[in-house]
Structure 1
Amino acid sequence: MFINCSIINEAVKYYHNALELLPDNAVNDLAAAHHQLGNIYYEVGDLEQALYHFSEAIRYMEMAGNIYEAGKTRRNVAIALQDANRLPDALEYARAALRHFQSYPQGAEADRQKAEGLIKNLILFYIQSL
């Protein structure tokens, strides 16, 4: 896949500028900006920066009461950690995602099933890696 570095750098710059300009109480916008930065950093292979921004996105999502999106982000972080062979960390995030989906009143059945499947796969991968 071709990645245009100048466009990526420009996007990163604008998202960081947005983070500086947004007021502390704009939790939905802060969550979105951090989430997008997490996606960008993950795509360019900077897992540590991606994890930082995903964690911040989750924190703001939870502050906003958006447990469902926080769960989806935790599940995506679990997949990223699995790809990096950080299986115990991935399992922790996947279990947290499942807890988020279980607390969601309705409409999260597909996401609960995905999280449960991810947990099963992570456990199998972990056992195989021993």
Structure 2
Amino acid sequence: MKKILLLASFITISFLGVSCTSNKSVYQETTEVVTDNFASGYFDKHIKGNEYEVAYRGLDMNQKKVFDLSMLRAAEMTKQKGFKNFVVLSKVSESNKVGKQQIKTNTLKIAMYNDVPAKYGTYYNAADEYTRLANKYKIK
């Protein structure tokens, strides 16, 4: 009986260790091009001025999480570039299958501002959005 309890404890601890570290590896930089060893992660590029394209590709994730993690990257980049707010200018969501894996990608075109022009009705405070999403997905 002790061996069974010990084994069950080991399996539970191992599972908890994997699940605690899995979110950290999910939010990471990756390449835009899908290669043989592709992984979940974000990639971005400068378009012009204060505009950037930010994308998140998730393997076997639901579209809501993929969208949220692209927004997390947009908020993080906005803060890194010294801006307070960002506006989503466009959003494209895609879903593809490679082998047995479902790949979902969310691409945002964003513009970063300190003072958002009045023409934009909806904008996001980068610090607030980053905190909300980082807490939701337990990403530090």
Question: TM-score normalized by structure 2?
Answer: 0.29
Which has the bigger relative contact order, CA under 8 A and spacing at least 6? 2
Q: Comparing both structures, which one devotes a greater share of its residues to strand?
A: 2
The structure with the larger Rg is 2
